[in-house]
A and B are shown apart, each in its own frame.
Chain A
Amino acid sequence: MIHESIAATQAVVTLDVPLPDIFWGWFVTMNMWAKSIGTGLVFMLFLLMKKNPDEMKGLRTPTLIVSFIMMNVFLLFTLADLHQPFRMWHIFFYPHWTSAITVGAWMATVFVGLESLMIVVMLRKDKCLLTKNSTGFFDKLLFWVTLLAIPVTLYTAGIMAEATARELWQMSTESVQMILAATLSGSAAMILLGGSKLSDKTRQFFGAILGLSALMAFIIYMSEYIFGGMKSEEVIAILSNIKGDGDYATMFWIGQWVAYILPMLLVALARVSNSSNLLNLASMLAIVGLWVIKHVWLVIPQLLSLS
């Protein structure tokens, strides 16, 4: 390991002015967090349609509207993070298809367009020109929107993978984390949104998705935490920020507890005691904690000096 040579060389950088540390800050965290909820709600609505379509009554439009709002929050923060936001249209007129940013922007735009169509269909109902059976049309569209939600969720992992300088972000783990973030936050949002419209059984079903998503995401983070540095010196240096007295160690563990550990425990308790309140609390913690952990994982690779 090269850093072991420092003991012999006593090498110290005495002049270098590298780039400012963090280029992708909390605007990008907001982007990922909001997109997770937006696509996650679509996944959950689709699952509800397959599992118990009767309970979709009264949930189709509100769920889609919340997803639509979150997707627009995602787009807003994406735009706001650009240094030249008024040139956003370049992505559509000068697209560069090797870039996950381009592919993602196109897919997210189509996704939001389809969501708008579904909302219009439900709000206009009998006045809808497309079909008189608005619910049936909505459900057919939901299948295609759910399919599209998968790559829309995953493309951020593609961007992170294309960020060659950031060794910590690997496509395989990040794509699984993106899907788990969507199922975690989507199930949590659905539990809160569904409220009394969902039966206890269905709420417990979404609770199980929440708990399992939290468990799997936690396992992956812990795997990275413990084993990540065993194959790459850069990853050791990056992970040192969340270990010991690292600058982001406290925030990392707050995120792990709030997003994953506590929701897992609360979901288990809620199943034993059949408590809606515990499930609601688990959901709220998961949504808040997800933001924290996404932020930590976004920032720490940027703290590594590249020169």
Chain B
Amino acid sequence: MQLGFLVDLHLCMGCKGCEIACKVENEVPLSTWRLRVKYVDVGAFPETKRTFTPLRCNHCENAPCERICPVSALHYIDNGIVNIDSERCIGCAGCVMACPYGAIYIDPETQTADKCTYCAHRVASSMMPACVVACPVEANIFGDLEDPTSNISMYIQDHRDVQVRKPEKGTNPHHFYVGASQVNLNPLASERVEGFSLFNKITHLPLGGHHE
């Protein structure tokens, strides 16, 4: 079994239901996110549109975070999920430095690394991840990539514009996007202009140790 995720960006309407469901399900502390939806505005007034891109751990087959973790706190489980053992984590932030997707954060409450686990605890009980359940338009598709009859496999077969983020990194992500452009997937394809954010003055909880 190789679990994977696909987001159809044609369907996503940026409601952030997945983000909230994830927060609630996993008790993600304030100022940190396992899953977040990025908004990018494209075009010049009046020809403008807003794009939405849910971002989460890509559960790579060749995961840099797993490789760099000095204590195997990040590890693969049999269904292909890259899981994390917060009791073992020493908080070196090596995984934060290694992940090319910026998907790992230091939990300000436990002072350990944390990230999306595809809701491994729910999957173990044969339930879908919380974000999949919460999505009102079924933009999140989750399933076994090795089963050609699974929803995700069939979705990949039926669509030609299936992409992953940063394929050049050689991480072999198990998280796919349909209907994505460079603006959605490439951080260098859009600008970050001060004052253009919908929410400014966002503060982060202190992370402990010394960090500038």
Contacts and interface: CB of A to CB of B under 8 A. Distances in A.
Interface string B43-68: 11000001000010000000010111
A16 B100 CA distance: 16
Interface string B28-53: 00010100111111111000001000
A90 B69 CA distance: 11
A238 to B, nearest CB: 11
Given A23-B97, A82-B90, A100-B68, A2 B196 contact: no
Interface string A25-55: 1110000000000000000000000000000
Interface residues of B, number: 63
Given A81-B209, A82-B91, A14 B68 contact: no
Contacts of A10: 41-44
Interface in B106-122: 106, 111-112
A83 B68 contact: no
Given A22-B211, A99-B67, A14 B196 contact: yes
Q: Main SS of chain B's interface residues?
A: loop
Contacts of A165: 64, 97-102
Nearest to B106: A83
Contacts of A12: 40-41, 190-193, 196
Contacts of A24: 93, 97
Interface in A67-102: 80-85, 87-88, 90-91, 94-96, 98-102
Nearest to A164: B64
Given A2-B188, A14-B198, A22-B211, A159 B94 contact: yes
How many residues of A sit at the interface, in one of the four size bands?
35 or more
B38 A96 contact: no
B192 A305 contact: yes
Max chain B C-beta neighbours (<10 A), residue from A19, A164, A306: A164
B187 interface: yes
Contacts of B102: 18-19, 165, 305-307
Given A24-B93, A90-B90, A15 B197 contact: yes
A3 B183 CA distance: 10
A159 B95 CA distance: 11
Interface stretch (B76-84, B123-131, B148-156, B200-208): B200-208
Interface of A: 2-3, 5-6, 9-27, 80-85, 87-88, 90-91, 94-96, 98-102, 105, 159, 162-166, 233-234, 237, 299, 302, 304-307
Instruction: Report the 7 A-B pairs with minimum CB-CB distance, sorted nearest first.
Output: A83-B91, A306-B102, A11-B190, A15-B39, A164-B64, A101-B70, A83-B111
25 contacts: A3-B189, A5-B182, A10-B43, A12-B191, A13-B192, A14-B50, A15-B199, A16-B197, A18-B102, A20-B211, A21-B212, A23-B106, A26-B212, A82-B90, A82-B209, A83-B92, A83-B106, A83-B112, A90-B70, A99-B70, A162-B94, A163-B97, A165-B98, A165-B102, A307-B102
Given A11-B191, A81-B209, A82-B90, 4 more contacts: A10-B41, A11-B42, A98-B68, A307-B101
